[in-house]
A and B are shown apart, each in its own frame.
Chain A
Amino acid sequence: MTPHRATLDLALFCAGFLIWSSAFLALYGVQGLGCSAGWADVRFGSVTLLRPLLIAIWVAHLAALLALAFWTRRRMRDGANFLRRAAYAMSCVAGLATIWTGAPILGLTMCN
């Protein structure tokens, strides 16, 4: 393994939970901001502005994690070593964690 590739593998190993933390921060921040700014009261028919916005942020992060999982899996198949296997496992776990921590935006009350 060249030093350059090892650095990339290490970056991919960290990437999953960096994306998870980005999703968490963005959902947390936009939810508070949206409630404060009254976005939950802006209605388009039966839906409000805030919930689709949060769902879009969530889905974008899930898509990034899915792409990361495919990428790390391909690298693992090209030549498996501990770091590559761990990077693939971490991206899968980060995906599950993002689904779990973000899922409440689908149903819970936004603001009160």
Chain B
Amino acid sequence: MTYNRKRQIAAAVLVLVTAALVANEVRLLVTDPEYDWYLRIQRWIAAVCTMAIYTFLYRENPFYRAFEHVLLGGATGMGCAVIVRQQLIDKWFAPMVQGFRDWFTTGMTPEALSGVLLIVPGIVGLMWYFQYSKRWFWLSRITFCITLGAGVGLGFKDTFNQLLPQITETFKPLWVGARIEPGLSLLARVSLSFENIIFITGTISVLMYFFFVFERKHFVIKGPAQLGRWYLMVALGAFFGNTFMTRLSALIERVHFLVAEWLQWG
């Protein structure tokens, strides 16, 4: 098929699809007594955006690229607006101004002081910008040190609190006897013990896999490390399966939107 012929077919398909969409919209306008223009325009915009992004599945095209940039621009603008509005103004500037106002009207009350003191983090934060000056660069290091110190402290607490219970959780009995779980039947105990053995074997073998300080020549190291690799492969397979399911859900939701909400079929 020649290039011109292909273009003619594509144009014909486009015209037909557009006609069908217009006919569908007229159908809704005529049959729906609660036809809402505002809502319909919103849905049309959402549908065009969705389909523009899905055109990438056919091939890279300017239509897709344009909408990708619209999305990125919108998200960046929204991010900036949110930071300025919700954080800088609401959490810092407005309480600070209020603090100064209270100080001048009612005197230095504890509430006024807490507002006035907000000027300190403001100044410390602004010191980041000394990074652009060779002469005053050292001042930015003060802010850097405060941020780093606070971040490390909080991070340490978070990591410690998250991981410690998991480490203690790995101390599982290989045989769940009657003393450990008195109410369980023998079959349940065997099953629980089997689970624990798989769990502990997995933990140890995967840890062995990540010992890179000595060569894996001896079977005591090599065997568990290889088993650990298998465990990791199974885990990665589970990750992939879950990833597929998440992406699939997004597709199903979009198809539902296009069919049920935009076209209002079915």
- Asked whether A and B interact, the reply is no
Chain A interfacial positions (CB closer than 8 Å to B): none
Give B residues with C-beta under 8 Å from A. Answer: none
